[in-house]
Amino acid sequence: MDAGSTGTRLFLYTWTSNSDKELINIAPALDHLNSPVVKKVNPGLSSFQDHPYDAAEYVKPLLDYASQFIPHDKLPYTPVFLLATAGMRLIMKEHIRVIEGKWEGIYSWVAVNYILEKFKMGNSSIISRPETVGMIDMGGASMQIAFEMDQKDEFRSENVENVLTSLQINLGCRDDDDRYKYKLFVTTFLGYGVNEGLRKYEQELSDRLLHTKESYVRDECMPLNLQKVINRSDGSMFLLFHNYKAFEANVEVCSMLKL
């Protein structure tokens, strides 16, 4: 279960292992329509920070749904993983364990390259193994970047926080098999997700009203003819109207945000 900033999604997988020389074969479990077993509930898990005991009822529909597609005799042996991402990193850090942004990036990098079959080795050596792809994951509250580095490369920058200069992962089953060992660059930017960026942008727009007597503000980035009512944290409301400006003006407004 992926507990994101706007909701929690259930994904059900099956896996088989035929050899310790190859990665485990992971595939989505399928429903009666031959579609992957996926279900989402709203809102985000972080909304239960003030009443955490209700979180059990919140995830129960996901577990009940998944159990329909798991053989009854396999239920006691089916592991459940609930991983929370950036939405939970925005709340207080008491009595909570959340996966770090770097691991969110690593998991996404592994998922992308696994789907693209970049880890299929056959009899390949580490020299001739498939070239992996880099990944940019823009979630609801954060953004992750991950890509493979050459074993001899290093990356350091005083302008990037939490940069991992030498992160080694082993996806294989044996320590003596270097074919599945990868050196990754991974970094995360909390607050640069889609929803969090939009929230800060709308806050910036609403702050303009503090110096006017208007109850609305024109938004350079909204689609044509769209109107939107925004509720402020102080209980007041204001309207967003589309403004007829060019794309360059939209970029200029967004670049001014203090994300």
Is 143 part of any known ligand binding site? yes
Active site residue 104: yes
Per the annotation, does 140 bind a ligand? Answer: yes
Q: Are 240 and 202 in contact (CB under 8 A)?
A: yes
Both structure tokens of 245: 């400006």
- Is 125 within any annotated ligand binding site? no
Question: Do 135 and 147 contact (CB within 8 A), yes or no?
Answer: yes
> Per the annotation, does 141 bind a ligand?
yes
H helices present in 116-246, as ranges = 194-208
Q: Which 3 state secondary structure label does DSSP give 185?
A: strand
Whether residue 234 contacts residue 203, with contact meaning beta carbons closer than 8 Å, is answered with no
144 is in an annotated binding site: yes
**From the candidates 100, 104, 131, 161, which is the catalytic residue?**
104
Burial category of 86 from C-beta neighbours within 10 Å (exposed 0-12, middle 13-18, buried 19 and up): buried
Extended beta strands in 90-141, E state:
135-138
Residues 15, 27: Cα–Cα separation, whole Å: 6
Tell me the binding residues: 140-144
Query: Annotated active-site positions, please?
Result: 104
Tell me the binding residues for ATP: 140-144
